[in-house]
Chains A and B, each alone.
Chain A
């Protein structure tokens, strides 16, 4: 069973639309969800969680959207700019959520707070952005989560804590039933932990594939632009011209003898967006 399945999901706003968004996250894997600001990452995540109305089909842990409230017991979520009312503290949250999640583990929550160095009695209004993120992560991990959906969970965190968070996610994924969908602008983080990459641009999915396949499918060419002119139409997915030559994202199967470097996530994303035709 897949952890997530999106099939032709569409959402129309006045100035932006999600257009036929489809991808699948198999159980036991981490998917990095990337794209520039305003590409549609958060809207897609909101659709998955039933926070916006949309057209198309979404299933979460095998449950259709209509039954999603029941399955949310097994979903841990971190959202940007959404948290607990500011006068509460972590101790209050522990007691509140024990009445919300049937599988809430108060002891685990307390130990996660200690691990993240969050004071139990400090009010949320006195938390920094990074601390709020850590609190949300602690909540997501303190019940029987099978799937984590994390929208920019490492933004606002210092490198040391970021490293720790990534380690925790890798710990979480040791269980073969666990899966993670994570969006982030810090592509090096995703490169480190993700098994799958899904890239959204202007509301459309440009690619969704296992990370290893990214390198097997695409390569980066650096050099003289003339060499590219011999390639068949459709082989070049993105091109940037510079003072000393050009950089191109090329389909390996159509590249022939052209010497290609491995396609890093960041270069792939930039070339597809900035160098796209």
Chain B
């Protein structure tokens, strides 16, 4: 398992410059931004983005080299290959959250850190949980389109509802806060279930 994680980290480190540029861009925006909420949400977006992008990049490198086929000739099980990717995502999300915490403390926004970090972690894990089964089932190329479709689905639904003259009101602050409190646990549960589903999908694959 550690060998697999080391491989992904080394692959990603090889293109670390791009990641660093994205991170620096968001950090500059964070410090330039005046409103506390918008600044923090920008960083949340960055962490979620990197949690999705980095493992997807690692999967696409693997796919291009037929790495899975080769890896399965080694003492590596199919489940190990699947869970190593989930561990990578969890690791990136956690590292992103720590980075976020550091920046919040630097800007003196420590008070809202716990809620924000929980929300960020939850959303990151939620998206990863949605993506991996798609990637394992369809491959990265087709999986990207499926991912796009899933992301657009809520907007399309809202549009359809508004056309039908059904208007949803935004939940009040109480609900938003409770939702944020639930997010890390729900994200983690979904993440774990998604891992089990991916293992099942992967077992049926041929290489």
Chain A residues in contact with chain B, CB under 8 A?
46, 49-53, 69-70, 72-73, 75, 77, 79, 81-88, 92, 95-102, 123-124, 136, 149
Contacts and interface: CB of A to CB of B under 8 A. Distances in A.
Contacts of A124: 65
Contacts of B3: 96-100
Interface in B24-38: none
Pairs A-B, 4 closest by C-beta atoms? A99-B3, A100-B3, A87-B14, A77-B73
User: Which of A73, A96, A97 has the largest number of chain B CB atoms within 10 A?
Assistant: A96
11 contacts: A49-B73, A50-B72, A69-B77, A72-B76, A77-B73, A79-B66, A82-B66, A83-B66, A84-B65, A86-B61, A87-B14
Contact of A69 (B6, B11, B75): B75
Chain A interface main SS type: loop
Contacts of A149: 73
Contacts of A75: 73
A56 B61 CA distance: 34
B162 interface: no
A102 B6 CA distance: 16
Given A51-B207, A96-B6, A72 B74 contact: yes
Contact of A85 (B65, B72, B207): B65
Contacts of A50: 72
A79 B70 contact: yes
B74 A88 contact: no
A52 B206 CA distance: 5
A99 B6 contact: yes
Contact of B207 (A46, A99, A101): A46
